[in-house]
């Protein structure tokens, strides 16, 4: 028996995105020494007080079915958070709680796309983006943001692709590149969306990890609150990746329809998990800084260790927990280089091709180990590129 055409259309189209991660886990399970810098899962553990808050909630009996759209107090807290950061009036009716940021991604695409609708997304991209669109029945169309553009959106490219499109998805601060879109780029996306009547989906799960510049939410721009949806998550800001809790913010009338989808997709998020999230958000300033600080230090350490290593180039990340390294002087694809680096140096990274053709010849490094391990891994990586580059010249 064969599964649906929809699933068949998704199969094998991620380019083996998760292969280095899976291989590294196998090696670690076998007792091998590997520095695993593949995915954005914190080495910093969830703050104990959040686990204690969840435990207290569960022990108090909050283990039954939760409200479909989320616990009202949590939705109110998120609404206040969004309003304070955007200046746009936001209430709990604009918020639904989702199973992580990925849950928000699939729900909003299911809500907005009809079968065959075109949906734009930026490339390099988070690997689930195109298949999320396919799962919702849409036709994914990437708009390239090549390294020569600083991994930033370009007006002529967006204008050429926007006609006939239903939605546009973007992510700032960006995974995998670390790019933070300045106000002029956010205004560009808003302008294209308004003139071509596009729904905008803004993935802002890294909004607390900004090292240079300033995060601008597109919801804050005039005329955008009625056509944009903001995705947030507890995962990155609070080291709660395994809790699977996020949110979606958008126009009230669409949120009401999304409640119908939640009913048949997940039936909500456990109350005790939501209570832990509420506790975190009520102490957000302290906890967000605590979780973000190590990544800021590691970014500085990475820039220092790579200084003068001319065979490897880096667009310094302005946000998020990743480094996108250009390793083209090795003469290898990102995939082949990542395989060699793991086999020879026991350092696991993600090939750039996992994030789209625009990132070919690159590898992404997650800064998810302490400074000593991270700089050791980067030194090994740069030395391998230099060795290959020298061999190519002889």
pLDDT tens-place string over residues 236-292: 999 999 999 999 999 999 999 999 999 999 999 999 999 999 999 999 989 999 999
Question: Distance (Å, rounded) from C-alpha 168 to C-alpha 118?
Answer: 9
Which value, in Å, is the radius of gyration of the alpha carbons in the chain? 21
pLDDT category of residue 15 using cuts at 50, 70 and 90:
low
Indicate if the pLDDT at residue 165 is higher than 70.
yes
Torsion angles phi and psi, residue 165, rounded to 5: -95, 150
pLDDT tens-place string over residues 204-236: 999 999 999 999 999 999 999 999 999 999 999
Q: What is the pLDDT of residue 393?
A: 77
Question: Distance (Å, rounded) from C-alpha 253 to C-alpha 222?
Answer: 19
pLDDT averaged over every residue in the chain: 95
pLDDT (average), residues 24-35: 93
Q: What global pTM score does this model have?
A: 0.95
pLDDT category of residue 14 using cuts at 50, 70 and 90:
low
Q: How far is CA 235 from the centre of its chain?
A: 10
Indicate if the pLDDT at residue 7 is higher than 90.
no
**Paired strand residues for 366:** 322
Q: What is the pLDDT of residue 19?
A: 81
Q: What is the pLDDT of residue 17?
A: 63
Domains (range + CATH), the chain: 5-45+286-388 (3.90.1150.10), 48-283 (3.40.640.10)
pLDDT tens-place string over residues 91-126: 999 999 999 999 999 999 999 999 999 999 999 999
Q: What is the pLDDT of residue 12?
A: 62
Rounded to a whole number of angstroms, the distance between the first and last alpha carbons of the chain is: 55
């Amino acid at each position: 028996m064969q599964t649906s055409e929809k699933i068949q259309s998704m199969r094998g189209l991620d380019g083996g995105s998760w292969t280095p991660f899976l291989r590294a886990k196998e090696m670690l399970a076998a007792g091998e020494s590997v520095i695993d810098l593949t995915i954005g899962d914190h080495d910093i553990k969830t703050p104990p007080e959040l686990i204690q808050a969840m435990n207290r909630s569960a022990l108090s009996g909050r283990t039954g079915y939760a409200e479909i759209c989320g616990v009202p107090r949590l939705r109110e807290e998120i609404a206040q958070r969004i309003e304070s950061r955007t200046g746009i009036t936001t209430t709990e009716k604009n918020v639904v709680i989702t199973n992580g940021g990925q849950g928000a991604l699939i729900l909003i695409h299911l809500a907005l796309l009809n079968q065959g609708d075109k949906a734009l997304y930026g490339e390099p991209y988070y690997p689930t983006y195109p298949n999320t669109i396919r799962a919702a029945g849409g036709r994914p169309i990437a708009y390239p943001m090549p390294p020569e553009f600083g991994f930033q959106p370009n007006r002529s490219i967006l204008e050429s692709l926007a006609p006939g499109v239903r939605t546009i998805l973007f992510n700032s601060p960006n995974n995998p590149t670390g790019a933070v879109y300045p106000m002029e780029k956010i205004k560009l996306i808003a302008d294209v969306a308004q003139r071509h009547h596009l729904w905008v989906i803004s993935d802002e799960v890294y909004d607390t990890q900004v090292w240079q510049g300033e995060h601008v939410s597109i919801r804050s721009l005039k005329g955008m609150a009625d056509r944009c949806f903001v995705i947030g998550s507890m995962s990155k800001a609070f080291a709660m990746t395994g809790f699977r809790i996020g949110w979606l913010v958008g126009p009230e009338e669409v949120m009401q329809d999304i409640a119908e989808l939640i009913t048949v997709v997940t039936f909500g998020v456990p109350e005790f998990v939501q209570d832990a999230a509420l506790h975190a958000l009520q102490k957000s300033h302290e906890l967000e800084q605590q979780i973000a600080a190590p990544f800021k230090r590691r970014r500085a350490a990475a820039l220092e260790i790579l200084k003068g290593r001319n065979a490897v180039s880096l667009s310094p990340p302005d946000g998020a927990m990743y480094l996108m390294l250009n390793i083209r002087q090795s003469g290898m694809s990102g995939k082949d280089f990542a395989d060699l680096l793991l086999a020879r140096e026991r350092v696991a990274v993600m090939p750039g091709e996992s994030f789209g053709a625009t990132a070919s010849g690159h590898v992404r490094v997650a800064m998810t180990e302490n400074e000593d391990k991270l700089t050791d891994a980067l030194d090994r990586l740069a030395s391998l590129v230099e060795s290959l580059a020298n061999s190519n010249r002889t």
